[in-house]
């Protein structure tokens, strides 16, 4: 499950604005999906520090990303 948090006050704790919650969640899901599907990731988005040559471990079992209900 992928979520946006359960209360608005958590956004400033991470330097984010709740009014950008939906675009932030969409971007985070896109990054997570890329990390699951590619061995090495280069990423530049609006809301987080860029990644260059990043490898996420552990990898999904059998290289099949988990189903995300949204």
Structural domain span for residue 50: 18-63
Is the pTM of the predicted complex or chain greater than 0.75? yes
Per-residue pLDDT, 14: 86
* pLDDT value at 10 more than 90: no
Q: Is the dihedral of CA 53, 59, 60, 63 positive or negative?
A: positive
Give the pLDDT confidence of 19-56 residue by residue, as tens digits.
998 999 999 999 999 999 999 999 999 999 999 999 99
68 in a structural domain: no
Alpha carbon distance, N-terminus to C-terminus of the chain: 8
Burial 16-38 (b: 16+ CB within 10 A, else e): eeeeeeeebbebeeebeebbbee
Per-residue confidence (pLDDT) for residue 32, from 0 to 100:
93
pLDDT given at position 66: 87
Total number of domains constituting the chain: 1
Q: Is residue 7 part of a domain?
A: no
So what's the pLDDT on residue 70? 66
Q: Is 30 helix (H, G, I), strand (E, B) or coil?
A: helix
């Amino acid at each position: 499950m992928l979520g946006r948090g359960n209360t608005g006050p958590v956004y400033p704790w991470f330097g984010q604005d709740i009014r950008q919650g939906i675009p932030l969640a969409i971007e985070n899901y896109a990054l997570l999906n890329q990390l699951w599907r590619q061995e090495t990731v280069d990423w530049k988005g609006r809301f987080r520090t860029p990644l260059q040559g990043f490898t996420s471990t552990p990898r999904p079992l059998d290289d099949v990303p988990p189903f995300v209900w949204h």
